[in-house]
Amino acid sequence: MTALSSFAEMHAKIAAGQGFIAALDQSGGSTPKALKGYGIEADAFANDEEMFALIHAMRSRIITAPCFTGEKVIGAILFERTMDGKVDGKPTPEALRERGIVPFIKIDKGLEDEVNGVQLMKPMPDLDVLLTKSKALGVFGTKERSVINSANAAGITAVVAQQFAVAAQVIGHGMMPIIEPEVNIKSETRAECDTLMLGEILKHLDLLPEGQQVMLKLSLPVVPGTFDSLVDHPKVLRVVALSGGFNRPEACAELAKNRGIIASFSRALLEDLRHQMDDAEFNGSLGRAIDEIHAGSVA
């Protein structure tokens, strides 16, 4: 595996890499659920510090697994505490780059209550501080998530506008933003959501200054090929997909129907891993998951 040292090397890896992006960014509210899935119950930790130590140990075990390299995993999205921590005695972003994996950081602070069928991102008053710190640690890009629950044109317009406003701030720090307006796969108007969102994204891409690019992290569309125009767009570095509630076989099957979109899975990557496994079992299970998701991404 080839270590990555410069922004240009990381850009090239994401642009052309034949693999997927691992989402290791469960934060505050979703951490207990992630630990439970990993076989660690809530009575195993007494406070947030102990909880975050356990999730960091899980992520360290994943990152140092023999199969977790830049050959099939081209990027990884980190939670801020994971980025600030160490893996094998090195800052986490450095440990990833040494394995040929491009580090990203989750920057949103969670979701507002639903208005107009969508959930906007909460304010991020300290974003410039976080971006400066992340860039100094050698992090390539960011990810921010909002949610679309129903096909409300005003709501979807607001979500996409907010996403691109934050993306402009990220680009201003010399980093690559992953825009994630997640369409809820349980939405009764999912196909219409896909269409409305696509139209808004294309409008904002046309307004991006020449030479600037973003990445997009989207729910897999109801109609395969819906996002082909985004995959081909010169201002989009890469389109990645979230698993969004599909289990891994379903998510990989849906992914393979869409040309040029690669995975950025979280739960679907981790769903078979358990704290109680010995290293051979753990590495075997993780390796099978990586192989499946890689196959769906390059299909």
Contact by Cβ (8 Å): 218, 241? yes
Max CA separation in the chain (angstroms): 53
CA distance 78 to 142: 9
The two three-digit tokens of residue 127, written as one number: 């974003």
Question: Catalytic one among 13, 72, 143, 217?
Answer: 217
CA distance 113 to 104: 26
In sequence order, the β-bridge partners of residue 76 are 22, 103
Question: Catalytic one among 180, 182, 200, 292?
Answer: 180
CA distance 24 to 41: 19
CA-to-CA dists, residue 56 to 140, 205, 215, 229, angstroms: 20, 36, 26, 38
Which of 146, 154, 152, 145 shows the shortest CA–CA distance to 117? 152
Does residue 180 have an active-site annotation?
yes
In sequence order, the β-bridge partners of residue 217 are 240
Task: Tell me which residues are annotated as active site.
Answer: 180, 217
